[in-house]
């Protein structure tokens, strides 16, 4: 089977590639990214493609004709979308439209996994928790609006052009190698720096918000199972832990793991213009489809992230 992964050089991509090969040793994996990642393996072929360049994208799709496509490529930071709303929205929507159009032209029989976000739910109350896929999205950021547009276009191309598409609303996923612009990776890095005597305090944003964190290894397992399942026709599936924890609880856990108690300071620059107090999802729908549920505990995930940063500080 041929698996094409857009944005394969990002945080999730390497985990996804490893998982696919663990499941199918004879799989052929094609990576598309805007910059070279220089990964060498017999089963892997890399193409350097800006997905905004429809001609280059189409030439790859025409040549490769993949059986499955996982669309990971995007500007994935909500904070970045507030700073650069036009660039963030145009990039994420236009690269997806180019991909859909190319699939229609050159590989209409393939199955596409469209990665969305829990940010699509937007304005929610505690009465809405846990969030389910039937809830109408009310996005609160440029990033989230673009993800809703991607989901809507999946529906259009699935129903109007017959493409086989399955969509996710993926909640906060974490793991070793994640950029430190994301909260848990950032906090783990700061704790490692504090322990190494490289900083005197930990800078945070709003620590009272509650989020649903999931290990990236559980995430890629869910993605693979969705691709192999009967789910399609632009159906949407939450990828989440089903458990909410506050950033303050994460900090307490980091203190326990590292056996330290640093001082903390809230930086107003890390506060979002609009913020949900609590975001926690239900994974009931994907569990019913293919039996998926999270397996890696939050403490195990954070411990591995701290150890990863400690080796690099």
- What confidence tier does 102 reach under pLDDT thresholds 50, 70, 90? very high
pLDDT digits (tens, 9 = 90+) for 163-189: 999 999 999 999 999 999 889 999 999
Query: Which tens digits make up the pLDDT trace of 114-128?
Result: 999 999 999 888 899
Query: Residue 274 — very low, low, confident or very high, per pLDDT cuts 50/70/90?
Result: low
- The pLDDT confidence band at residue 237, using thresholds 50, 70 and 90, is very high
Here the tokens at position 205 are 């944003």
User: pLDDT (tens digit, 9 = 90+) per residue, 22-78?
Assistant: 999 999 999 999 988 877 888 999 999 999 999 999 999 999 999 999 999 999 888
Distances in Å between the Cα of 236 and the Cα atoms of 16, 62, 172, 285 are: 20, 28, 17, 9
- Which pLDDT score, from 0 to 100, does residue 37 have? 80
pLDDT for 230 equals 86
**Which residues, in sequence order, are CB contacts of 11 under 8 Å at separation 6+?**
175, 177, 178, 179, 216
> For residue 272, what pLDDT band results from cuts at 50, 70 and 90?
low
> Alpha-carbon Rg of the chain, whole angstroms?
19
- What average pLDDT is seen over the chain? 93
pLDDT exceeds cutoff 80 at 276:
no
Distance CA 82, CA 218 (A): 29
Dihedral angle of Cα 74, 224, 276, 285, to the nearest 10 degrees: 140
pLDDT of residue 313: 87
Q: Looking at the predicted structure, is the pLDDT value of residue 232 above 80?
A: no
């Amino acid at each position: 089977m041929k698996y094409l992964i857009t944005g394969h050089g990002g945080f999730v991509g390497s985990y996804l590639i490893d998982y696919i090969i663990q499941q199918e040793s004879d799989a052929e994996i094609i990576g598309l990214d805007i910059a070279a990642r220089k990964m060498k393996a017999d089963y892997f072929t890399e193409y350097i493609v800006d997905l905004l360049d429809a001609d280059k994208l189409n030439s790859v799709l025409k040549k490769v004709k993949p059986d499955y496509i996982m669309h990971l490529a995007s500007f994935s930071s909500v904070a970045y979308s507030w700073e650069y709303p036009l660039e963030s929205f145009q990039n994420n929507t236009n690269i997806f439209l180019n991909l859909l159009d190319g699939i229609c032209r050159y590989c209409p029989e393939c199955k596409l996994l469209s990665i969305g976000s829990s940010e699509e739910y937007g304005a929610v109350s505690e009465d809405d928790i846990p969030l389910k896929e039937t809830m109408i999205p009310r996005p609160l950021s440029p990033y989230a609006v673009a993800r809703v547009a991607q989901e809507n276009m999946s529906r259009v191309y699935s129903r109007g052009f017959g493409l086989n598409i399955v969509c996710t609303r993926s909640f906060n996923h974490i793991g070793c190698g994640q950029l430190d612009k994301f909260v848990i990776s950032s906090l783990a890095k700061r704790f490692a720096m504090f322990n190494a005597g490289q900083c005197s305090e930990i800078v945070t944003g709003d620590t009272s918000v509650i989020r649903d964190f999931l290990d990236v290894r559980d995430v890629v397992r869910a993605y693979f199972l969705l691709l192999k399942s009967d789910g399609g026709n632009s159906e949407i599936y939450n990828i989440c832990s089903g458990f909410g924890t506050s950033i303050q609880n994460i900090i307490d856990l980091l203190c326990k793991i590292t056996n330290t108690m640093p001082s903390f300071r809230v930086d107003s620059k890390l506060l979002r213009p609009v913020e949900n107090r609590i975001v926690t999802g239900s994974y009931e729908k994907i569990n019913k489809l293919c039996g998926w549920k999270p397996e890696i505990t939050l403490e195990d995930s954070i411990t591995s992230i701290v150890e990863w940063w400690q080796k690099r500080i």
